[in-house]
Amino acid sequence: MGASAALKSRPSAEPDGAEAMLRVALSLFLEQGYHGASMRDIAQRAGVSVSAAYHYFPSKADMLRTIMVRVTEDLIADLEAARDGAGPDPAARLAAIVRAHVLLHTRRQDESFIGNSELRSLSLVDRRKVVALRDRVGQVFKDVVAEGCRRRVFSQPYAAETVRAILTMCTAVAGWYRANGPDRPETIAERYAELALRLVGAGRGEEGHTR
């Protein structure tokens, strides 16, 4: 706070009150659901009064929308970067986006879980926006798998079901991953990449596990 006195005109990325409130709101939405968590709970756990919370966010709904939009936009950015950084090979691309998806869903597990489970708590207009973002996530996977099928490096007859299976399998990671569990995020990401390749019928031979 003291050091950044000159920067107060631009409230960009700093661990300020709003960010702290978002973190608290996130953990409460996670524990009790959006409707189950009250503004009084959030304010109390953040160590401020109820009305102080309304200085940072105009409403409770705005907190949820902020959380969901942000994590979904970051997911899209991660996926596109992973895909473009993996070269043109569809198998490498699929492995890369699965890794990126799993990594984000472990490293930012709580946001990801809320992003997947509280769609119904959004207002109609917010829901449309988040659904559109989620569609873009699915499209990245669809395109990669479709390209692999076209080039015949993937062999499976039901592309739509398979994409859905991969996507839901990767998404569910946010539901069961535990940071103090036996596996590191990178390990899980690597294994899920292999599982995804099995699902699309690629890599029947041994995949070189560069690690």
Out of 171, 185, 193, 203, the only residue in the binding site for a second copy (CB under 8 A) is 171
Residue 9 lies near DNA (rule: CB under 7 A): yes
Residue 124 lies near DNA (rule: CB under 7 A): no
Out of 41, 80, 89, 147, the only residue in the binding site for DNA (CB under 7 A) is 41
Task: Name the residue nearer to DNA (CB basis): 125 or 179.
Answer: 125
The closest of 113, 87, 115, 121 to 175, measured between CA atoms, is 113
Smallest gap from residue 68 Cβ to DNA (A): 16
User: Of residues 174-193, which lie at the interface with a second copy (CB under 8 A)?
Assistant: 175-176, 183, 188, 191-192
Q: Rounded to an integer, what distance in angstroms lies between the CA atom of residue 109 and that of residue 103?
A: 9
The closest of 50, 104, 61 to 80, measured between CA atoms, is 104
Q: Rounded to an integer, what distance in angstroms lies between the CA atom of residue 145 and that of residue 151?
A: 10
Smallest gap from residue 135 Cβ to a second copy (A): 13
Residue 195 lies near a second copy (rule: CB under 8 A): yes
Out of 7, 14, 36, 150, the only residue in the binding site for a second copy (CB under 8 A) is 36
Smallest gap from residue 64 Cβ to DNA (A): 10
Three-state DSSP class for residue 106: helix
DSSP sequence for 135-192 = HHHHHHHHHHHHHHHHTTSS--S-HHHHHHHHHHHHHTHHHH--TTSSS-HHHHHHHH
Task: Name the residue nearer to a second copy (CB basis): 9 or 158.
Answer: 158
Q: Rounded to an integer, what distance in angstroms lies between the CA atom of residue 154 and that of residue 173?
A: 24
Residue with tokens 């829901």: 127
The closest of 172, 203, 200, 208 to 188, measured between CA atoms, is 172
Residue 72 lies near a second copy (rule: CB under 8 A): no
Stretch that binds DNA, among 36-44, 97-105, 128-136, 156-164 (CB under 7 A): 36-44
Residues of the shown chain interacting with a second copy in the complex, contacts defined by CB under 8 A: 31-36, 117, 120-121, 156, 158, 161-162, 164-165, 168-169, 171-172, 175-176, 183, 188, 191-192, 195, 198-199, 201, 204
